[in-house]
Amino acid sequence: MLLAEGLRHSFGAVRALDDVSFGLQPGQTLAVFGPNGAGKTTLLKVLAGLIRPQRGRAQVDGGRRAIGWIGHQPQLYGQLTVRENLRFWASLYDVPESEFLLRKDSLLVRLGLQDHEHRRVSELSRGLVQRAAIARALIHDPRVLLLDEPFTGLDRMAAEELRELLSEDAAEGRASVLVTHNVDEGAELATHIAFMRAGRFAHFAPRAGRGPQQVSEDYRNAIA
């Protein structure tokens, strides 16, 4: 479903990706942990096709249409309502009107946004904006979800709801790559764990039932 082979990319003298390879099957979630500047966001951008790698290749079944992106910036327009934003992004993904209405209603209910559909994004709290951003990323029903620090700015409850939503989606066959510098936030969601340092995977393996504390210890050992 998602394949990365020998990805390499540099920005000037800084090597952001250095021979990164992995594959994901439907329903699998890879959590990539690493300090700031490790190359995590570059990896996501290469997987999304926003950056062309200097070497190697990234392939997602279904191409760009199959990708959803949730970042720490919501990619929404503040002057538009939640509904208008979702309509705009659905149009760019050629989602038919009938499907749009069904998905929009379902997502708004799942994300607790049904009372905010006609409010402008600029009037919403940070937590509600992030929920709207999740609805935006899922409006075209992507088969692969790329998440860049998605818990930034969310309170504990909203973060827990996002984790639940991602777990449900994974159970339905959606593959995800989650990058974050906070091990506690992403470990439970992952079927696979990678630790990234200086553009390389210092560790890549199935989580194999290890809890957040064990993953934290592994992370400290691998990155130190």
Min CB(143)–other proteins separation in Å: 13
What letter does residue 73 receive in the DSSP assignment?
Answer: S
Q: Is 45 in the site for other proteins (CB under 8 A)?
A: yes
Q: Is 48 in the site for other proteins (CB under 8 A)?
A: yes
CA dihedral 47, 53, 58, 60 (to 10 degrees): 50
Distances 108 to 45, 75, 111, 169 between C-alpha atoms, Å: 27, 17, 5, 15
CA-CA distance, 133 to 38, in Å (whole number)?
Answer: 25
Q: Is 79 in the site for other proteins (CB under 8 A)?
A: yes
Q: Is 71 in the site for other proteins (CB under 8 A)?
A: yes
| Structure token pair of residue 98 | 């009938």
Min CB(45)–other proteins separation in Å: 7
Binding mask 118-147 for other proteins (x = CB under 8 A): --x---------------x-----------
Q: Is 53 in the site for other proteins (CB under 8 A)?
A: no
Of 32, 61, 60, 28, the C-alpha closest to 171 is 28
The label of the residue with tokens 């593959």 reads 175
CA-CA distance, 157 to 205, in Å (whole number)?
Answer: 29
Among 4, 51, 134, 138, binds other proteins (CB under 8 A): 51
CA-CA distance, 89 to 84, in Å (whole number)?
Answer: 9
Q: Which range in 25-33, 87-95, 168-176, 213-221 contacts other proteins by CB under 8 A?
A: 87-95
Nearer to other proteins, 93 or 204 (CB): 93
The residues that touch other proteins, with contacts defined as CB under 8 A, are: 45, 48-52, 63-65, 67, 69, 71, 73-80, 84, 88-89, 91-94, 120, 136
